[in-house]
Structure 1
């Protein structure tokens, strides 16, 4: 199995594109804007140079819509979770965006998303394998990182990273969580039905479902029958991955 490794985006933060993007964020924040559409402000040529967003998006408290269509963005910073008014998140098509930060779940008003499903880790169409977090942790640009649950500030050596698939807006997405300890780990929900049901570290040993939407099936199968089968399948998958995780310790 070909498991890709993380390649953090090499964003040129001295160039015109990045500087103009930062100016745009300041402008939208100052004007209490409700839409964030950097391609319209930067132009397609400059926007094509953007591979991540600045952490200053945390200032966009009134933004309800994010449009990143046709971008080369590979990473969304966890500060997106501080955009409390966010209702619509549309990075489609963004083939380089393979996962999102768990902090996206803090956007409680978010009810619409449009993403490139096939590009996402663990998606039901291709089951794209998750990179391992054991020997290949992901680090943002910041010197420190905050717990995805309690928001406690930690060093990178203190954080424990996990993958989990959860429903966010219109889609089930692969999310990366940075956790400070067992108490915060215990607060995370089970993975979305039809996906790996537990927190995991990814890697070639991870067992995923077969291809296809887990809810597709003959019409003769009732919802109750499907629910029972999925519960049994998920439980078996959970036990198998827990066994694998223990053997890796």
Structure 2
């Protein structure tokens, strides 16, 4: 499908710099880097970053949408009214953009967006679309074709899947996620059947550019109705992925066996050519074996000779206990993403040795890998959770060595925050005395600890939390005030009505809007009266 370069398997990951994590996301990624430095293309994956709907940036964006709906403005350029850190926290637009009926120009210049919601198709007056320099925005929803007045666009086309300059590949489909699947068919707007949507890529003219569009169709008939891509683009509709191209050398007879895999079907006829590819050291075959799962069990001895993330995930997907020793060994590989894949893959098995190994990862690894291992341990039974709890309580007190650099200090802060988050997920009341002293830390830790105490939800936890909320609602830090207001509303006690009423006059709009939502959540007559008075 993409016979432009030889293929290898080092899955391109979209890395977010640590310094950006606290305030939002990075506005660039390395998904399409090979087109600039002539590296081999590898299997790409859709960005599935979750939008933090409690972040200051998101709440500010919701406010700006409401203002634009109210004043019927013709141009919507949210970045102009947001701080850089707030704008960096946005990875998608809210569905409420459907109400921007008067907007003729949508400007998203320099965003960190990774997707546009299908509701853009309801912006009936849209004439000009400017997502220029939004370098993580690699595709658009098919629904944008519903904008019948759209005539002008300014898009960074080299950041797009399948662009005609470098022909980068498309991620393999299906990739069904709540973050990208609309509620109705992209083509005919009908409801999906019990089998769910059919996902396809197609490249079509939109205003002054040709854009890669993600289609969610309700039937084969809707798929067949899709237009053909212009010359110079991948003929569509298609399912993307590199797997088909990898097997061209087996001849036409192998291709029909591989195609169902691209559709998400476990086709037994594909096992033989895939195993043959693995024997020849073709690492990309592992990506297909992940989709086949246990029916490709004969590939196990050959996969152990392949390195990398996808080979590791393929080993785990076979769900054969024989693979456990190799997965345990790969926890110590130099390849970071291989270690992540091994940790997540071990979570598919139940074995005391696995629990011990994952606990060691939680105790010693950096925050990201520690989170992968901790998520697995949460689902591995009482003994695993008991061991995890013990280590999390130790991590809750982790600090950087005296004289450590800023990176080490920040890393320790994030480890403490993550430890608090997972203790909240476990929800054991015995963690409360350890969490409470951490309430006095800076916002990153305070926010996680406060949410954890609320999740534990015992009277001891809530009563310990209340004084800090009353104190931080008067903090100079808007994030402190926002978290305090949010949790006051979540707790829902009438005693918070007075401080929340005062917060309605906060100089920061984020705090004011959160206070209003908190009073609505409390919903008592006193809270309702205060809201009506305002």
TM-score (ref. length: structure 1): 0.79
Aligned to 1:180: 218
CA distance in structure 1 between the partners assigned to 2:179 and 2:194 by the alignment: 11
Q: 1:203 to 1:63 in 2, by over 3 A?
A: same
Provide the aligned C-alpha RMSD in A: 2.3
Q: 1:10 to 1:155 in 2, by over 3 A?
A: farther
- Aligned to 1:112, which of 132, 152, 157? 152
- Aligned to 2:71, which of 4, 15, 31? 31
Aligned to 1:48: 88
Q: 1:99 to 1:26 in 2, by over 3 A?
A: same
Instruction: Give yes or no for contact 1:35–1:66 (8 Å, CA) kept in 2.
Output: yes
CA distance in structure 2 between the partners assigned to 1:198 and 1:245 by the alignment: 17
Count of aligned pairs between the two proteins: 214
- Aligned to 2:58, which of 18, 22, 38? 18
Per-residue CA deviation, residues 92-117 of structure 1 (Å, 9 max, x unaligned), is 10110000000111111111111111
CA distance in structure 2 between the partners assigned to 1:47 and 1:22 by the alignment: 12
Query: Greater relative contact order (Cα 8 A, min sep 6): structure 1 or 2?
Result: 1
CA distance in structure 2 between the partners assigned to 1:144 and 1:87 by the alignment: 23
Instruction: Give yes or no for contact 1:35–1:64 (8 Å, CA) kept in 2.
Output: yes
Listed as ranges, the matches of 1:1-249 within 5 Å are 1=7, 2-134=42-174, 137-141=175-179, 145-154=183-192, 157-205=195-243, 244=255, 248-249=259-260
Q: 1:143 to 1:116 in 2, by over 3 A?
A: closer
**2:79 aligned counterpart, secondary structure:** helix
Structure 2 gaps of 5+ residues are 1-6, 8-41, 246-251, 261-534
Q: Judging by fraction of residues, say which structure has more helix.
A: 2
CA distance in structure 1 between the partners assigned to 2:95 and 2:256 by the alignment: 33
Per-residue CA deviation, residues 145-203 of structure 1 (Å, 9 max, x unaligned), is 21001111327841000000001011111000000002212221111221122200001
CA distance in structure 2 between the partners assigned to 1:130 and 1:13 by the alignment: 28
Q: Judging by fraction of residues, say which structure has more strand.
A: 1
Q: Quote how far apart the aligned CAs of 1:75 are.
A: 0.6
Q: Which has the greater radius of gyration?
A: 2
Q: 1:13 to 1:205 in 2, by over 3 A?
A: same
Structure 1 gaps of 5+ residues are 208-240
CA distance in structure 2 between the partners assigned to 1:142 and 1:165 by the alignment: 17
